[in-house]
Amino acid sequence: MIYLLLHILGNTVFLLAVRVARQRRHYLLIGATNYVTAFVLATIVLVQSAVVPSWQALALGSVQGVQYQTMFLLLFVLLGRSGVAVVVALLRLSVAIPTVASIVIWQEYPSIWQGLGLVLAAIALPLLSAARRPRETGAQEEPSPAESASRNPLAVRAGTVAFVALVLLLGGMGLLAAKTFAEMRREEQRPAYNFGTFATATLLSAISWPLRHRFTKPLSQHQQRPSSQTRAVRIALALGVATGITNIAQIELLLRALVHVSGTIAFPLTAAATQVLTAGAGWLFWREPLRGRAAVGVAVGLVAAVLMNVR
């Protein structure tokens, strides 16, 4: 269980780092640095392990890598529409895919108390999504091209269903890949899985690089100074490195946790706990409102997390 708790903490830190990255100009630079850092670390670990990578580990890791980079791009748009609590609520709903698979394919049935915790977790997620971004005060930042497109009412109405379905499917398939790998019981292949994950994510990040201007906020008069731009790039690189270290650590911890904790518990518990932590952080650091239904959601999520640890 300690691996799962550490994974939850790492996953929360990663999502909050993405939230911070979105506020800065060099969103894709931060993302690229994140994946390159994780890829370098994964390569070092793979070489030192002297393991011959299996095609299954590389293939499943590649599925996770596709999910990572695609979701990183989608997060920019999602965070532009809603606060961090809303975004994580949507992402966490994707745990339905690996949770159902754990029951149907691997016959991992929860206890009565754990089942009650699962029900409460399902109730908590939509309650937590009641949080909304606060209204900005003072001078308004001009939106980036990607943000402007995401705020087009006609585009939102026309693509909402498909967009949400895509987010849920991608998130669910990435988690299902991790669960499938854990069920292979080939723990020595973890370095190969991580290598496949971040090699794929790095490649897709490079392919996405020409789109960087669509994920960039316009420069203010102060930011147009060369010294300010250089400092912004250095901060982006540092944030990318820190995010990459957190990223590879949290996926390693998830793979270790899934060996000892059933998917029917691991995925919903991660969803509920991450939701509560990010909602609290959103209120603390970005003053995202957390009252009414959202506050009830935090309380229900905490109870759900406790029950899912009772056997």
**Distance between CA atoms of residues 282 and 284, nearest Å:** 6
Task: Count structural domains, the chain.
Answer: 1
What confidence category does residue 162 fall into, taking pLDDT thresholds of 50, 70 and 90? low
Separation CA 255–CA 4 (nearest Å): 9
pLDDT at site 49: 94
Say how many Å lie between the first and final Cα of the chain, rounded.
Answer: 13
Q: How confident is the model at residue 290 (pLDDT cuts 50, 70, 90)?
A: low
Predicted local distance difference test score (pLDDT) of residue 273: 83
Global confidence as pTM: 0.79
Question: Which has the minimum average pLDDT: 59-68, 147-156, 196-205, 240-249?
Answer: 147-156
Most confident of 50-59, 147-156, 202-211, 299-308: 50-59
Dihedral, 300, 306, 309, 311 alpha carbons, nearest 10: -90
List the single range of 64-78, 182-196, 216-230, 263-277 with lowest mean pLDDT: 216-230
Instruction: Give domain status of residue 29, yes or no.
Output: yes
Count CB atoms within 10 A of the CB of residue 148.
12
- pLDDT the model gives residue 56: 96
pLDDT winner (highest mean) among 71-75, 106-110, 185-189: 185-189
pLDDT for 151 equals: 47
The answer to whether residue 140 is domain-embedded is no
pLDDT of residue 134: 45
Domain membership of residue 221 (yes or no) is no
- Percent residues over pLDDT 70 in the chain: 72
Q: Is residue 141 part of a domain?
A: no
- For residue 31, the enclosing domain spans 2-133+146-215+227-307
Quickly count: other Cβ atoms within 10 Å of residue 293's Cβ: 13
In a domain, 33, yes or no: yes
Mean pLDDT of the chain: 78
Instruction: Evaluate whether residue 222 is within a structural domain.
Output: no
What pLDDT, on the 0 to 100 scale, is given for residue 232? 79
